[in-house]
Amino acid sequence: MKRILPLLLLLSVVSVSAQSTYPQITNIPGRNTVCLDGNWKYIVDLYKTGNQDYRANPLPEGQSFFADRSFYADQRRLVEYDFGAAKEIAVPGDWNTQRPELYYYEGTVWYRTMFYHMSKPGKRYFLYFGAANYETVAGLNGHRVGRHEGGFTPFNFEVTDWLLEGDNSLVVNVDNTRRMDGVPTVNSDWWNYGGITRSVYLVETPSTFIRDYFLQLRKGSQDVIEGWAQLDGPALRQRVTVSIPELGISTTVTSDDSGLARFSIPSKPVLWCPDNPKLYDVKVYSETDSVSDHIGFRTIETRGDRLLLNGQEVFCKGISIHEEMIGGAGGRAFSEAHARALLSEAKAMNCNFVRLAHYPHSENMVRMAEEMGIMVWSEIPVYWTIAFDNPETYANAERQLVDNIARDHNRANVIIWSVANETPLGDSRLEFLSKLIAKARELDPTRLVSAAMEKIEYEGRMMTVSDPLLDIADLISFNQYVGWYDGTPEKCDEVTWTFSVKKPVIVTEFGGGAVYGRHGEKDMRFTEENQEYLYQKNIDMLSRMPGLAGASPWILKDFRSPKRMLDGIQDDYNRKGLLSEKGERKKAFYVMQSWYGTK
C-alpha cells in the first residue's frame, strides 16, 4: 500500500464567514453511496496548531502545510504515518460522551480515516456529511476540498478530481468553539456536542445528475401534485420523468437551460395523516440519472384559529425533543434506533406531533417520524440573543434554513418551519426573522412558518403574546412557564389568555423540573409530585385558552446543559423531562398521556 500524506490542510486561509459548500444533494438514502462510518483516528488540537505554521502565519491558498513548512518532528510524524499511535473514536458520534477527558471540551479535533476507491468513467463523486458541529474543513489526499459552518445541517463537497485509485486519506478538522456571531451564539441551554455527529458518505453520481427535487400537493388542492427537479452537470437540457406507479402517474417534461424541470400532475392520492401515514414509491429519472423516494401527500393550512390537516381540524398532541439518545452514555442521537426509541416514547404518550428543538434533527429522526405518523415542527438554531444586526450572521441563519428545507421538503410530516426560539424584541430582530420567514415561504409555499415567541402578563392575571411577528407568522406559537418560573402552580387557576389576532395557538413549551425517583409533597420543587401537579394545573389552564390547536411541553427527556449546575439535582442536566435520561417515566408523563388520550 502506498503511503498517502493526509496533510493538515490550509485551514487558516478561509475567513470565518466564508462558505465553500457545494449545493446540497438531497435524498442520500436513495443514492449510490459508500458509507465511511466507523472508527476514525483523532488528535485533539486545543491551540489549533495544525492550522498554521510554527510562526502562526496562515498558509497561502493552494499550499499544503507539510510540503514546504518546517514543523515539530513528532507532529509531522503523526501526520505522515497514519496519525501514528493516535486513538480512535466512532464516527458518527460526539466526542464529549466517547472520551471522558473531552466531556467539556470546546475546540479543534482532527479526524482521519482511510478508504479504498476505484473511480468509474463518467462518474462524479461527493463527500457528504449528515452534520458536524460546528465549523468543519475537509481535505482529501492533501487537498482542501471545502468548509462548512453550522452544526446541524448536511453538506457535501465534490471530490472527483482529488480521489486516487486505491487507498485514499480523508482528514477532517472540526471545531465546536462557540462564537458571538454564530448560529447558535455563545449562550444556549443545551450541550455543545462536538464532532462528526452524523454519517459520512462517498456519493457517486452520473456526470449530469438529479441534485434535488420537490413533489407535494398544490397549496389549497388535494388533487394536483406539483413540483420540480433540478439537474446538475454539463447536459442540463433533458427529458425528466416523474413516476408514481401506484397512482398510475408517469409524466415527462423537458428541463430548461438551467436544468430545472417543473411538473403539474392531476391525481388524487390517499393523504398522509397520523392515523394513516401513507407513503408512495416515487421515481424521478432523467436521460442520465434516476433516484427513488417514498413520499406522502397532505395539505396543511389555517382557517381563522383552526389548524387544518387535509382540510380537517387537527389538534397537535405534541412533545418537544432534544436530539439526545435515551440511556447508555447519552450523547447526540443519530441512528434509526435512537430515533425509534425517542419517538416510541412520544407515541406511548399518545402524541401525533413533535417539536424538534432547537435545531434540525437528523434525517433519520424526520423519516422515522413520517413512517410512524408523527407530524413535525422543524427549527433552526436562531436562539435567544443572536447577533441580529450582523449581515454575516443572517447569511449563516438563512443558509441553515435553506439546507434544512432542502433536506426535508419531501417529508409529508413536516408541517411547520420554525425560524427562531425566544428571541428578544427589537427592530433588527424583526427584520432578521421577517426575512427568514419570507425565505421559507419562497422555498416552500406548502407549509406553515412560525417561531417560538414569548408571553407577557398585564393587568393582573391577563396574559397574551405581544410580538410584531404575530402579523407575519402563520401561528400564535409561544413558550410559557406559568407555575414554574412564573409563580406557583396555583397561579394557573387565576390566568386568562387573550390574543390580538385570530390564528391557531400552539403552546410550544411549558412545564417544570423533577428528578426521577425524588418524591415529596406537591409543593416541593424537583419532586415528581410537584411536576405532576404543575402539569395538571397547566392542562386546566390550556383547556381555557382560545384557539388552542396544540401543545409541545418541555420536554420528552432530561437532557444535558452546562447551565444546569444544581448539585445532586441537576448535575449538568435540565430536569424538565417527562422521562429521565435513562428513559424512566415520571408521573407527569402519565398526565400528558391521559390528556392526549381524550383529544
Same structural domain for residues 151 and 227?
no
382 and 183 in contact (C-beta within 8 Å)?
yes
- Residues (pLDDT < 50) of the chain are 1-20, 53-81
Same structural domain for residues 286 and 360?
no
Strands (E) across 245-315 are located at 249-254, 260-266, 280-285, 290-295, 300-303, 306-309, 312-313
Same structural domain for residues 385 and 506?
yes
Q: Is residue 31 domain-resident?
A: yes
Find the CATH number of the domain harbouring 98.
2.60.120.260
Q: Quote the domain boundaries for residue 346.
A: 302-598
Q: Is residue 5 domain-resident?
A: no
Find the CATH number of the domain harbouring 244.
2.60.40.10
User: Collapsing DSSP states into helix, strand and coil, what is residue 11?
Assistant: helix
Q: What is the pLDDT of residue 18?
A: 35
DSSP summary character for residue 25: P
Neighbours of 39 (CB within 10 A): 12
Cα–Cα distance for residue pair 129/110, rounded to 1 Å: 15
Q: Name the domain boundary from 298, 319, 341.
A: 298
Cα–Cα distance for residue pair 511/318, rounded to 1 Å: 13
- pLDDT tens digits, one per residue of 523-573: 999 999 999 999 999 999 999 999 999 999 999 999 999 999 999 999 999
Q: Is residue 438 domain-resident?
A: yes
Same structural domain for residues 166 and 60?
yes
Q: What is the pLDDT of residue 143?
A: 86
Same structural domain for residues 196 and 324?
no
Into how many domains does the chain fold?
A: 3
Q: Is residue 394 domain-resident?
A: yes
550 and 506 in contact (C-beta within 8 Å)?
yes
3-class SS string, 424-491 = CCCHHHHHHHHHHHHHHHHHCCCCEEEEEEECEEECCCEEECCCHHHHCCCCEEEECCECCCECCHHH
Q: Is residue 16 domain-resident?
A: yes
In the structure grid, which three cell numbers stand for residue 299, read together? 395539505
Same structural domain for residues 495 and 535?
yes
Find the CATH number of the domain harbouring 575.
3.20.20.80
User: Collapsing DSSP states into helix, strand and coil, what is residue 337?
Assistant: helix
Same structural domain for residues 241 and 310?
no
Q: Name the domain boundary from 298, 331, 351.
A: 298
497 and 545 in contact (C-beta within 8 Å)?
yes
DSSP summary character for residue 218: P
Q: Give the predicted TM-score (pTM) of the model.
A: 0.93
Same structural domain for residues 331 and 344?
yes
421 and 215 in contact (C-beta within 8 Å)?
no
Q: φ, ψ for residue 10 (rounded to 5)?
A: -100, 70
Q: What is the pLDDT of residue 585?
A: 98
Residues 6+ apart with CB under 8 A from 152: 131, 133, 359, 360, 361, 380, 381, 400, 404
Same structural domain for residues 242 and 363?
no
Same structural domain for residues 181 and 290?
no
Q: Is residue 321 domain-resident?
A: yes
Q: Is residue 216 domain-resident?
A: no
Cell 397549496: give the residue.
219
Q: Name the domain boundary from 298, 325, 354.
A: 298
Same structural domain for residues 385 and 401?
yes
413 and 370 in contact (C-beta within 8 Å)?
yes
- pLDDT tens digits, one per residue of 337-385: 999 999 999 999 999 999 999 999 999 999 999 999 999 999 999 999 9
Residues 6+ apart with CB under 8 A from 368: 336, 339, 340, 343
Q: Is residue 513 domain-resident?
A: yes
Cα–Cα distance for residue pair 233/289, rounded to 1 Å: 11
Cα–Cα distance for residue pair 178/170, rounded to 1 Å: 25
User: Collapsing DSSP states into helix, strand and coil, what is residue 594?
Assistant: helix
Same structural domain for residues 421 and 276?
no
Amino acid at 419: V
DSSP summary character for residue 95: H
Q: What is the pLDDT of residue 187?
A: 94
> What is the length of the chain?
599
